[in-house]
Amino acid sequence: MVQSNAYMVRMALKLDRASILNPVIHLKYDLDKLSLEIAEQLKDNLRVSKYSIKKALYYAFEKNNDFIREVHSRGHQIMEKCGSDEAVIVVTGRPYNLYDKRLNLRLGHNLARIGVTALPMDFVDANLVDLSDFSSMYWGLGAQILRTARYIKARSNYFGIHLTNFSCGADSFLEHFYRHIMGEKAYLILEMDEHTAEAGLMTRIEAFKNVMDNIRTRHVDIKTEKEENGIRNAHRLSVIK
């Protein structure tokens, strides 16, 4: 959609091709090469120097990195406040699903309404999570989703919700890897389309909350039993001595 905007706007408004700035931008390049690429496409139209474009790019990336660090810091604060026995949901998906309340049917609001702590995957710093066994996952966003899934899997009180869209070709592959990583751990995949209603969404997230609560209760019971067994064993040893 983003890539096609320039063509759609030009045709809809009957604009001259020369009046549209439509550079090809490869974010995989380092900033020096990227600034050169953009300058070659825009310098005549904007009448700016390569140095100005390079300076602007460095400034933009610096501010973006500051924002990412701030988001990670906020996510860390939220997770620190949650005890080890409190269930935490991390929601993965594409940005236009995660942050558009019309598309996700106010998922964040509805999770809060039933008393669940949840945060988007961008609030979780999973950059150091090993994904070497998915070496062919060249898609940056896909890699972030899988790293976050592995982050969730490694923590007993964390659970995952993955947002997707009906008939999404990329997710037909990604969901397979997501399921593989999560294994036997409880997770929920919410597939949205224009027919999805909020009532149906509430039913699914309430059922998922019940699953999480049962798992956490069972986990606490097992932990308590182990502690009691440990105390009994210690008492027996003291009697023997």
Rounded to an integer, what distance in angstroms lies between the CA atom of residue 78 and that of residue 70? 13
The tens digit of pLDDT for each residue in 2-31 reads: 667 888 888 888 888 777 888 888 888 899
Angle between helices 140-153 and 169-182 (to 10 degrees): 20
Q: Band of the pLDDT at 91, cuts 50, 70, 90?
A: very high
Please name the helix (run of DSSP H) or strand (run of DSSP E) that holds residue 192, with its range, or none. strand 187-192
> Taking CA 226 as the corner, what is the angle to CA 187 and CA 234, rounded to the nearest 5 degrees?
165
Structural domains of the chain, ranges and CATH numbers in brackets: 22-81 (no CATH), 84-229 (3.40.50)
Q: Cβ distance 171 to 187 under 8 Å?
A: no
CB neighbours (10 Å) of residue 173?
A: 13
CA atoms within 13 A on the CB side of 150: 17
Rounded to the nearest angstrom, the gap between the alpha carbon of residue 51 and the centroid of all alpha carbons in its chain is: 35
**pLDDT number for residue 188:** 96
Task: Give the phi and the psi of residue 64 in degrees, each rounded to 5.
Answer: -65, -40
Task: Enumerate the β-bridge partners of residue 119.
Answer: 90
Average pLDDT over residues 125-153: 92
Q: Cβ distance 39 to 53 under 8 Å?
A: yes
Rounded to an integer, what distance in angstroms lies between the CA atom of residue 17 and that of residue 45? 12
* % of the chain with per-residue pLDDT over 90: 48
Rounded to an integer, what distance in angstroms lies between the CA atom of residue 87 and that of residue 48? 52
The tens digit of pLDDT for each residue in 150-204 reads: 999 999 999 999 998 876 667 777 888 999 999 999 999 998 877 678 888 899 9
